[in-house]
Structure 1
Amino acid sequence: MPSDDYRRPTPAEVAAATERTIPDVVGPGLRVLFAGINPGLYSAATGHHFARPGNRFWPALHRSGFTPRQLHPAEQAELPALGLGITNVVARASARADELTPAELVAGGAILAALATRWQPRYLAVLGVTAYRTAFGRRRAAIGPQEDTVGGVPVWVLPNPSGLNAHFQLDDLAREFAALRLQAGAG
């Protein structure tokens, strides 16, 4: 359940969230570190990853078996105890991921590699194949496990859970997340 102090941001608060960042949710012993492309304005306004209503990250995480129940974005601090973490390829918020430049994605990829090196999760899951291709120069990358590592950590590319990604429905996302969960093992 969301904490008592959680409230939806106003439209003005969302509009003012451009360029904000959200702290990473990380810790030792992670099975999977999920890396979104970058925070949306709604998420930046709340301070919670994947917070926009309609984003399918939290439902996919639960339906795939990573969490015992569907968590609310305001409960993201519970993830490290489950062996899970969240970060972003690019830290700054924007209305849409396509507002990011290739240079920002490459720079963000280097920062993400350093984060993976520091925390050494079992897997780094990048949520968006196009962002992964650009950030790491892997033009032919596809959804699923990758041959290369990032920061010495095996990489698994997942579909972007944004409601704007019409190519993958929630059941498809949950299936892809579940494949990673099986490889990453129990907490």
Structure 2
Amino acid sequence: MIDVSHTSLHRLPDQIHPNLRLVFVGTAASTRSAELGHYYAHPGNRFWRAIHEAGITPRRYQPGEFAALIELGIGFTDLSKSGAGMDHQIATETIDVAGFRAKIEKYRPRTIAFTSKKAASLFYGRPSRGILLGRQPRGGSWPETFVLSSPSGAASGHWTLEPWHELAKWIAA
């Protein structure tokens, strides 16, 4: 069964169900994504291009097609389901790491991928500068975890497709 919450101005629906091969995890919806109800919807966001170029998807999907990725074993969630905007605009009190952990423990995906160092830093509780891109050390029964370079146009100066390629190789194995 798919857990899909209702979309409002400041919320994207989770797209997650048991045993997915991959769940992408953002900090929160961008303002544009919240308005449209689609993940990574801003025209300057590289997400959809990156997952295709890295080989994660067989074609380039559009933001409005995010629900179709469930058929590929790919889901979506965010650490903040009530905030929207750029990472620095998200109120700390809307970040729900415990709720995110509970979702992952309930649905048990094979792999999770944070789509920014900021999202990973909030999860790990340490500064972004201490977070390395790529595959992370594994902890117990927690799924394999990757940190990807942010596909946001606002993070262009730090963009690299390399960790996305590393993720694609892992999930294809």
TM-score by length of 1: 0.79
Instruction: Give the counterpart letter for 2:46 in structure 1.
Output: R
> Which residue matches 2:27?
37
Given candidates 103, 120, 124, the residue that maps to 1:136 is 124
How much has 1:92 moved relative to structure 2?
A: 2.2
Determine if contact 1:146/1:156 at 8 Å carries over to the other structure. yes
Q: Which runs of 5+ in 1 are unaligned?
A: 1-15
1:50 aligns with 2:37: no
User: In 1, distance between residues paired with 2:79 and 2:132?
Assistant: 17
> Which residue matches 1:177?
164
Matches within 5 A, 1:44-83: 44-83=34-73
How much has 1:149 moved relative to structure 2?
A: 4.0
> What SS is found at the alignment partner of 1:68?
coil
Instruction: Give the counterpart letter for 1:39 in structure 2.
Output: A
> What SS is found at the alignment partner of 1:85?
strand
User: In 2, distance between residues paired with 1:98 and 1:52?
Assistant: 17
Structure 1 segments of 4+ aligned residues over 6 angstroms from their partners: none
User: In 2, distance between residues paired with 1:149 and 1:111?
Assistant: 18
- After superposition, give the CA deviation of every residue in 1:49-92 in whole Å (9 maximum; x if it has no partner): 11111111100011011111100111111111111111111112
How much has 1:26 moved relative to structure 2?
A: 1.5
User: In 1, distance between residues paired with 2:138 and 2:93?
Assistant: 21
1:146 aligns with 2:133: no
> Which residue matches 2:5?
none
Structure with higher Rg: it is 1
Taking only the aligned residue pairs, the percentage that are identical comes to 30
User: In 2, distance between residues paired with 1:151 and 1:103?
Assistant: 28
1:158 aligns with 2:148: yes
How many residues are aligned here? 164
Determine if contact 1:24/1:86 at 8 Å carries over to the other structure. yes
Instruction: Give the counterpart letter for 2:167 in structure 1.
Output: L
Instruction: Give the counterpart letter for 2:107 in structure 1.
Output: W
Instruction: Give the counterpart letter for 2:50 in structure 1.
Output: A
Q: Which runs of 5+ in 2 are unaligned?
A: 1-7
User: In 2, distance between residues paired with 1:137 and 1:93?
Assistant: 19
User: In 2, distance between residues paired with 1:63 and 1:38?
Assistant: 24
